[in-house]
Each structure stands twice: as structure tokens, then as C-alpha cells.
Structure 1
């Protein structure tokens, strides 16, 4: 997909009472009993998507292009089903992504930080391993590192989500059919502590390794498993790629990866199951980065449209669209003109501050923000931001200087009208949408672990 067509292609044990409400003792069923309905599963995750994120992305698309996002269109046209989903982990009302994905992937609530490992140290078998053993093709696609918590929660068991080098090694023997994302540093010999060249190991094990967008687009159905890793770290924010021709040429979009993955996986007559994650939504929420947040949500929505188009043609594919938890709970509190500034944003806050090697002057910072986002902050506001520059005492997830980004976002609220409740995950119930065979069985309220057995039931795959 050409990024210039970004908007034009395509048409969301802490307390005893906690365990009673959300644990295995609850007898109600979220889904109606039904025999096999779907051959394929596409499980889509906008990581860290608060309801306000979905709302504002839809508002932005409406005002910029006069159309709804694909997720909201499912609701408006009543072609999909909708529910709320609770998101707690085993030991906290506020989950992290590892426990959140493990709830779907392993069917049990595990402690935060764990990947399909229970509090007593026992393992829950990840769902893609179950689908693979049943003869289906399986895979994961993400806009962050392929070894990150959300894809890993469908794939492996590990006590620590942070050991991404070990997770990269764990993937090797699984021979999953298609894995795509970032995270080259966990495969490169010069970046790994053990100096193992994992890319070479994957090739020796029979994988096709793809390292660029062109290599990804050229992939054919060769019956060989594919490991596609297109950059170190996460993929760049969607907004920042618009002004960078090199990024557009070398790194695929989430929609492009989704389209290629579905093309490859769908060759299996026994069907497939795949998880597709818009992971940078969560990263932007952690740094209160409105441009990064909304344009990556829209990039995720373009991947949704690819999945929905496939399912509409195929008639045997169930598409599940959700998030693992809310994050930062952003919302629009200002006027239309303020919000409309987002239509002309060129760069994210990460580009404004995260790519600076030295402290700028107030004039340079004002000029940089105006170039990136189209408004000029006051000198006094620039001085407040720069007073936080170099302060590393409070690091946030995926950013080195939490106070710096918090200060910038607080000032931006006066210009964009977008406010934030915090910089961390929330315990909100979240959106869950479904399209395709089996979606009609969805009830209005679901706990996260129930999706595990639901996917197995809909495809008649054994739960053991």
C-alpha cells in the first residue's frame, strides 16, 4: 500500500472478590453453544486502545475524508457484533500486555509479566500451538517487535515478557508459518548477549527470512515457514513515515503485512489462525502522543479493512477485533478547529523530542513543533518543556523521559483539545467486535479468557 493513499484505501489473586467475579467460578457463558462455524480465525489487537482512541480516530477520518473507520462501520451498518470485555489479570485489575494476551492465548488469567505461566509455575498451552497441531497454518503480525508481549502470548510460555532474546530463540523450533514485525536486535549476533546469529539459525532450520519490504512483497507460498523482521525495535510510527521516502520503501505497513500474510496462510485447505497487532497505539498512549496514537490507530484500521475484505470473500473466516486494555484514556475536550489541526500533522511527539541529540533553544523547539504539527507554542511554554529536557529520573514505557513528554502533551492540549487521564494502562472494559461465521453467538459482556475456548470451539479444535 502506498502511504500517500493512507486515508483513501478501504471503506474497536489481588482481591477475593476479583477472582469470584472474573475467575473460573463464574458459570455464565458468554457465547451460545454451536458446532464448528469457521475454518479460519483472524484475531486483531489494537494494543492499549482506550475507547476515546477509537472515537477520535473515527472523528479524524470523518472530518478529513468524510468516511467512517472500518471498525465503527461494522457497528453503523450492523454487519458485525459488539460486546464489552473485561481485561483483568490474575493478580491485578489493571493488566499488562503479557497477561492480557495470555488470557486469550492460554485461556487462563496469569500474573502480570508472565506469558502463559500461572502463579504456581505451571504452563498453559498457547493457542497457536494448538491450531498448528490441528493442521492449520498459524502466525503473528505486529507493528512492534515480533518478540513483544502480545504476539508472544499466542505463541510461547515464558516467566518474563522482557526476555525478548529468549523469546526469539523459542520461536525457532515452533516452525510457525508466518511471523512478521520488528525486533532485529533480538536476532542479530552483534546485538545478542550470547552472540548467536539467529537469522542464520532460522535459515538453517528451513525458514525463509525476509528483512525488507520488497522481500516481504516477493514472498511466495513455498511451504517454508517465514520470519519477517524489517527493522530494529518497533516499526516507525505511521505518521512519521509520510515524510520519509526511505521508510516507505523499506518497511511495510501493517495493512501490507496483513494482506501478504493472509495470502500465504490461506493456501492451507485446513484453514489458518493469525494474530495481527497494532502495537504502536499502546506506545503512543504511554507517551501521550496524539499524532502517533491516532494515525497508528488508523493504520490498524486499514489492516482491519484488509481482514474484513478477505472474510467477506472467503465466507469461512471469523474476524475478532479488540484490545487488551485501555491506556491513558484520551479524549477530545476542545473545539472543532483545534481537533482539525490533526489533519495536517506531519510528525509525532516522538519525532519532535525523541530524535533530538542535543537540547534545542526555545526558538528551535517552537520552530520544530510548528513544522511538525502546524501551531506555534509560546516562549514560556517552550521553556517549561526544555526545563524537563535531560531529566531521566522518571522513565516511562518506551520513552526515556516521562516528565518531558507529559509536559509537552499538557501544553498541546491547549492547541489540539485532546486531554489525557494519565500515561499508563487502565482497567476499563474494552471494545470487542466480531465479523463472520460464529459472530452471531457473541453475548454483550465477555471476560478475556473466554475468547480462548471460543476460538477453539468455532473451529472444532481440541482444547487439550
Structure 2
């Protein structure tokens, strides 16, 4: 009996000193890497696999499918699709971080940030474009790049990497004129004159503008990299034409390295933006370039996740585009005898995408043959060359080039627009989503894993109609500059004056600057603020 008693006491002491099973099972941190391949259909993934000659990294984590339709259409745009994956709510075309009624709702990135996680975005488009915008801002029109860019700067993200410098800098005092004496049509900048680069710098970011700066930047907690005025080059073009720009894989690796320094964990959204851009042009070479670029970025995420063991990786496309098919009307009678090489070999002759090739075209078109050769069309018949030579514009030339490439590679295209099919779901790690799901299920799975909800508790009703809120409390409220580029909501009661600036994360209480937990949003009618009771 004495021996049994001693054993009982010893076991009790061990139980007190060891962590409970619940505590032991709880990881010290949780990370989520959501990767979105914009505008990608299934055939281009198959074609890219044949082109590379090996399985894709994506193939190793194929888990199901995703339905992509929006609140108003069987075929979505990137704004509605991105917002669905960011907020968990179906919405309308062009809406950014808004529900179908046009009111701002918190995104999964904002929820993660408010819950103490580090946050970041990576994109090969301007970061103000629809998909990255949907996670970081709120607007009724995806083209409001100025407002979107301003909100992103004041959101306080930890890492931002991509293009879009044009919407961070003030409008030039003098317009830029090209060699023909014409105003440059691609000259864009901020209409409100604000220099957001100064705000980025003063907010403690490492600000990098070139690839070397990204690869060798010091490890401060916050990083903002902007590598192009607009979009970053197609990966096939980048080494030759724009070597100062980083690859998507390099940006992804750097973002993970910075964000993983936090104790609680991080949420990172990575977009391979330009499969969609190439698909709109019906350029199969550009589409393959960007699928493989995205797959390289997926490899970076999976390498980290497999070592970390507390990281969920979700990869998906937001919608299809172009209706690409391996096979076309010319293969109706002989498709059973065509090996993969018959589709791939013409594509492999291209050294540049169609955009990259035509960007080198001289004004007098004296190097047209070289341009065509760079796109893999160096062996044209006289009739084919004359068709290229007779193109009235660069856009028409590009159209003729991609059409001929598609014909040679036995590929078909049904549209220059989006398509409405279900898309593949790829996932890895703890609590990963599987099966055929809605795009709105993605943020629900992510937020559940990270331990917060966007649809219950304080996050569910985060944004308030500021005018109504303060009027109900006895303030005189107005919106100054309602139609200007920098509206301000002003609430007055006695000697107290509150001033809320659109797109900022603060307000003025008389002369005191008070920080908010999110940005103010104005849609032209309603001024939305977050009020902490």
C-alpha cells in the first residue's frame, strides 16, 4: 500500500509539471499563405506542365475545386471574386471590399491584423489592382486607384511588394511629352497631390525600388517594395528586358522571411496577376510564363510550410479567362495522333511574350522580323509576313501574332474575356480546405484556423455610418469637400471638433491626432468610420 501511495503522489506531481494535452497541441503561431493565380483555366495548367516537362508543384497539393460566380453573374470579375475570397461574401462586379449592398466589410487580412497577426500582400500587377485591393481597401469601383492606394498605405501592413508606383506619387507639375510631341497617355499619378512615398518612409518601412534592394534589404520589421510604375514584367521577359525587377518567387520568399519574424504568425496574400493579362490578349506564351512563375512562388510557400508545420497554404484562381483549349477546329480529324510536342514545340520557340516582343518594335518597324522571331515566328511565309506588315497598330500586330501562334500550336480560344467554370483548389497544412467549395468558404476556413470571425462579434459590424452615428449623439455633422478629391467628415459639439479624413487611419480631435484601428471610407454618399465604444 505504501508503494502504491508513493506512485500515486509521484504521478500527481508529474501531471502538475507537464503541460496539458490542449496546451501541448496548441502551436506557438499560425500562418496562412493565400495564393491567387488570376484568370487561369485548366487547359493552361496542363499546357504549362507539358511545357516544363515535369509535374507542377501545384499538382502535389491538388485538393478539390472552387465555384467562382458573383452575386450578379455566372462569370465574375476579379473585384467581385477577390472580395468574395477576402470577405466571405458574394458581391457585385467592380466592388472592392464591399458587400452586395455597397457597404464596406472587414477583410480576412484586416481581421488578421486586428487580431495581432502580421500581414502582407505580394502582386505582379500594381498593388492597387482588383485582387490585392480587395484584401486591403474598400471602394465601389475597382478603378479608384488613388483611393485604394491611399487606404493601403494607411492600413499599416507589414509587407507590400509589387508594382503601382504611379499611384503613390503626386501628379507631375508638367505633363510628359513623347518624341512625337504628344502627351504620354500612360502617365498616371495621384490627383490629390499627396506624396505617399513620404508617408511610407515616415511610417518606418524599408522602401526598396529594385530587385537588388529587395534581396539585400536590412531586416527591419516593415518592408514596402515598388518595382514598376504599373505592372511587373512577364517572367519570360523580365531577365532580358527588366532585370531590375524581382520575380514573384523572390518577392514571395522575401515576404515570408519578413513576416515570419512575428511571434503570433502572419497572413500573406500572393497574387500571380498576369496569367489573366496574357489570357485577355490570347497569348499562350505569356500565360505559360506566368503559370510557371506562380508555380515557382508556390514552391517557396511549400518549402516554408513543410519546415514550419503550422502554416496553411491555399492556392486558387479567381476565375477562368480566354477559354483556352488544347486542340481546335484544325484537330477535329487528327487529335488522336498528335503528341504533346506538336502543341509545345511552337511555343518553345518564343524567347519573349507577345507584349515583350512588340515592346522592342522600332517606330519605322525596320526590326519587324526580329520582333516576330522573338515571339517564335521567325519562319513566316510571304503571305504571313505581309499580314503582319500590314497591321495598322501595335495592338493589331499583337492580335495577328497570337492568332498565328495559336494556329501553329493547335490551340483554341473562345473569348478575350473571363469564363465561368469551376477552378482547381490547391491546399496544404493544418485545417486546409478540401473538396468542391464556394470562393466565400476560403476566408471562413482561414479565419477559423487563425481564431477570429468576420461575421460574429465586433468584426461583423465594424464600419458605421459616421454622419448618422454622431448626429444621433448631438453633433452637427457635415462632409466638407463632398465632391473634392479629399473629403473630410466634420462633427461639432460645443468646443469639440472631430475631423475624419477619407482613406486615413486617424482623426483629429481638435488639435489632437487620434489613431484608429482601420481606415475611414467614403463612397460619395456615406462616410464610414469605426467607432470604439
TM-score (norm: length of structure 1) = 0.82
Query: Hey, what does 2:220 align to over in structure 1?
Result: 222
Aligned counterparts of 2:194 and 2:362: Cα–Cα separation in 1: 31
SS at match of 2:162: strand
Aligned pair count?
402
After superposition, residues 80-229 of structure 1 pair within 5 angstroms as 80-189=61-170, 190=172, 191-223=189-221, 225-229=222-226
Tell which structure's C-alpha radius of gyration is larger: 2
Using the TM superposition, give the Cα deviation of residue 226 of structure 1 relative to its aligned residue in structure 2, in angstroms: 2.1
After TM superposition, the runs of 4+ consecutive aligned structure 1 residues lying more than 6 A away are: 35-38
Query: Hey, what does 2:408 align to over in structure 1?
Result: 415
Aligned counterparts of 1:302 and 1:419: Cα–Cα separation in 2: 26
Q: Deviations over 1:340-369 (max 9, x none)?
A: 2333421111123355353637xx534421
Aligned counterparts of 2:87 and 2:315: Cα–Cα separation in 1: 18
Determine which of 232, 238, 243 is the counterpart of 1:241.
238
Using the TM superposition, give the Cα deviation of residue 52 of structure 1 relative to its aligned residue in structure 2, in angstroms: 0.9
**Counterpart contact for 1:339–1:418, Cα < 8 Å:** no
Runs of 5+ consecutive residues of structure 2 not aligned to the other structure: 1-24, 173-188, 332-337, 460-533
Aligned counterparts of 1:357 and 1:180: Cα–Cα separation in 2: 32
Determine which of 434, 442, 447 is the counterpart of 1:456.
447
Runs of 5+ consecutive residues of structure 1 not aligned to the other structure: 1-34, 75-79, 391-399
Aligned counterparts of 2:275 and 2:286: Cα–Cα separation in 1: 7
Aligned counterparts of 2:269 and 2:306: Cα–Cα separation in 1: 18
Pick closer, same or farther for the CA change 1:438–1:119 going to 2, 3 Å: closer
Aligned counterparts of 2:422 and 2:364: Cα–Cα separation in 1: 41
After superposition, residues 239-278 of structure 1 pair within 5 angstroms as 239-244=236-241, 247-248=242-243, 250-278=244-272
Question: Does residue 306 in structure 1 map to residue 287 in structure 2?
Answer: no
Question: Does residue 52 in structure 1 map to residue 57 in structure 2?
Answer: no
TM-score (norm: length of structure 2) = 0.72
Aligned-pair Cα RMSD in Å = 2.1
Query: Hey, what does 2:373 align to over in structure 1?
Result: 370
Using the TM superposition, give the Cα deviation of residue 292 of structure 1 relative to its aligned residue in structure 2, in angstroms: 1.2
Query: Hey, what does 2:319 align to over in structure 1?
Result: 325
Pick closer, same or farther for the CA change 1:44–1:409 going to 2, 3 Å: same
SS at match of 1:329: coil
Q: Deviations over 1:273-324 (max 9, x none)?
A: 1011110111000011121110111011000000011000000001001000
Determine which of 318, 342, 358 is the counterpart of 2:363.
358
Query: Hey, what does 1:10 align to over in structure 2?
Result: none
Aligned counterparts of 2:238 and 2:202: Cα–Cα separation in 1: 33
Query: Hey, what does 2:56 align to over in structure 1?
Result: 69
Query: Hey, what does 1:285 align to over in structure 2?
Result: 279
Give the strand-richer structure, 1 or 2: 2
Pick closer, same or farther for the CA change 1:357–1:166 going to 2, 3 Å: farther
Aligned counterparts of 1:281 and 1:348: Cα–Cα separation in 2: 12
**Counterpart contact for 2:35–2:269, Cα < 8 Å:** yes
